[in-house]
Amino acid sequence: MDFLRLSDIPAADLAGKRIFIRADFNVPFTADGALSDDTRIRATLPGIRACLEAGAAVMVTSHLGRPQEGALTAAESLAPVATRLAELLGQPVPLVHNWTDGSFDVVPGGIVILENCRGNPGEKADDPALAARIARIVDLYVNDAFGTAHRRECTLHALALAAPVACAGPLMTAELDALGRALARPARPLAAIVAGSKVSTKLTILESLADKVDVLVLGGGIANTFLAARGCPVGASLHEPDLLDAARAVERRLAEHAGVVWLPEDVVVADRFAPDALTRTVHVDDVPEGWMILDIGPDSRDSLADVLHRAGTIVWNGPVGVFEMDAFAAGTRALATAVAASPAYSIAGGGDTLAAIARFGITERIDYISTGGGAFLEFLEGRELPALAALRARARPASRRLPPKPVFENEPEPA
């Protein structure tokens, strides 16, 4: 992909430079306000450490939640992130408020966290004036926040265009390399697993993948809609009757290049949506009226494992059953085991998928786990991610020269 990488810049050229890193620290907290998972913080450490070890003055920011611009609350502060980052780096990480005018100090080899960027008026609107103001205190902009790359916001898009030099950090680079390998130059057969409650929310993804993949594996309410489109009874299962023609169109697009849709042949049905519901395993042609499909059956698990074993590349987004309930977890457990056991190159993304990977203990057996949710899905759709578009726009050789010397004094705002 045509963009400048942080690793393309010699470490010696980073010394003394003011480096602005846009990270994704949108981390979860417990009910009492304690940080509950630092995975996203740890994921940014390689880029931050590379800059610190080169002697750069590092500024890092992120969004957290959905604050009202100009009115941050304590619950939306990056203060807990600063504390955890200081522990991980073994050095102080001050939190800077009201930072867009540059009225703060950061020395070479030091780092500060700039308070929640979504609190700045103009952030959500991708305000070029805000970007220009921030760019005055930046020598090098680094985007290491793939999870938000689908957002057109100031610190993701306009600032990348306004900064003297803009590049992708190691986390962003790894995500794009992994997705490029999976979709742009895949080992064949390419199998994509797409599951979810509604075809309508993922129709454009399905249409895009229909032109690329050899096998499209469907689960959840999406699979139910496709089963209904084939004339199978789905009882009270979640499905979208008004999208049956769209489902048939996806199947036809796959068939045009000898691709196929994989759907279960047997399913686990329940008389109600509850952990203690009555259940049966039936053929997809025999779903009782009033019952709902909540998982795939044993024959389908075996069939799916065989498909994935023969794949060259696997892209996985979504479970094939209501795996949060033990009674309907067998299908997603079998899917996870099959992906992990397959010799294929595997990449997985999306919140439910990551939860399934963690639950079934296969994290170390997936080749790449994407940190992106919405960005991962939009990449699968084939959309241009705004953050990536900005980095590509800055990839010309003339845009790669860092300022010749650092300037750390605060410059006055223009009148």
Is 351 within any annotated ligand binding site?
A: yes
Is 252 within any annotated ligand binding site?
A: no
* Length of the chain counted residue by residue: 415
Is 151 within any annotated ligand binding site?
A: yes
Is 324 within any annotated ligand binding site?
A: yes
Instruction: Indicate the DSSP class of residue 180.
Output: I
Choose, from 17, 18, 40, 333, the residue flagged as catalytic. Answer: 40
DSSP string, 334-363: HHHHHHHHSSSEEEE-SHHHHHHHHHTT-G
Choose, from 152, 198, 280, 310, the residue flagged as catalytic. Answer: 198
Is 212 within any annotated ligand binding site?
A: no
Closest of 121, 126, 119 to residue 156, by C-alpha: 126
Is 350 within any annotated ligand binding site?
A: yes
Look up 198 and say whether it is catalytic. Answer: yes
| DSSP run (H or E) holding 85 | helix 79-89
Buried/exposed code over 179-189 (b: 16+ C-beta within 10 A; e: otherwise): bebbbeebeeb
- Residues 57, 78: contact at Cβ < 8 Å? no
Cα-based angle 382, 262, 255 (whole degrees, multiple of 5): 65
Is 352 within any annotated ligand binding site?
A: yes
Q: Compute CA 405 distance to the chain's CA centroid, rounded to the nearest angstrom.
A: 36
Is 202 within any annotated ligand binding site?
A: yes
Gap between the Cα atoms of 112 and 95, Å rounded: 6
Please report the sign of the dihedral spanned by the C-alpha atoms of residue 165, residue 158, residue 385, residue 195. Answer: positive
Is 39 within any annotated ligand binding site?
A: no
Gap between the Cα atoms of 43 and 48, Å rounded: 10
Tabulate helix, strand, coil % of the chain (nearest 5): 40, 15, 45
Choose, from 374, 382, 383, 400, the residue flagged as catalytic. Answer: 374
Is 102 within any annotated ligand binding site?
A: no
Tokens 């499209």: give the residue.
216
Is 88 within any annotated ligand binding site?
A: no
Look up 297 and say whether it is catalytic. Answer: no
- Ramachandran angles phi, psi of 22, nearest 5°: -90, 110
Look up 212 and say whether it is catalytic. Answer: no
Look up 40 and say whether it is catalytic. Answer: yes
Choose, from 33, 180, 290, 351, the residue flagged as catalytic. Answer: 351
Is 371 within any annotated ligand binding site?
A: no
Is 101 within any annotated ligand binding site?
A: no
Closest of 364, 354, 47, 345 to residue 178, by C-alpha: 345
- Residues 21, 80: contact at Cβ < 8 Å? no
Buried/exposed code over 97-110 (b: 16+ C-beta within 10 A; e: otherwise): eebbebeeebebbb
Closest of 10, 12, 122, 115 to residue 59, by C-alpha: 115
Annotated binding site for ATP: 202, 324, 350-353
Which active-site residues does the annotation give? 40, 198, 351, 374
Annotated binding site for substrate: 24-26, 40, 63-66, 118, 151
Annotated binding site: 24-26, 40, 63-66, 118, 151, 202, 324, 350-353
Annotated binding site for (2R)-3-phosphoglycerate: 40, 118, 151
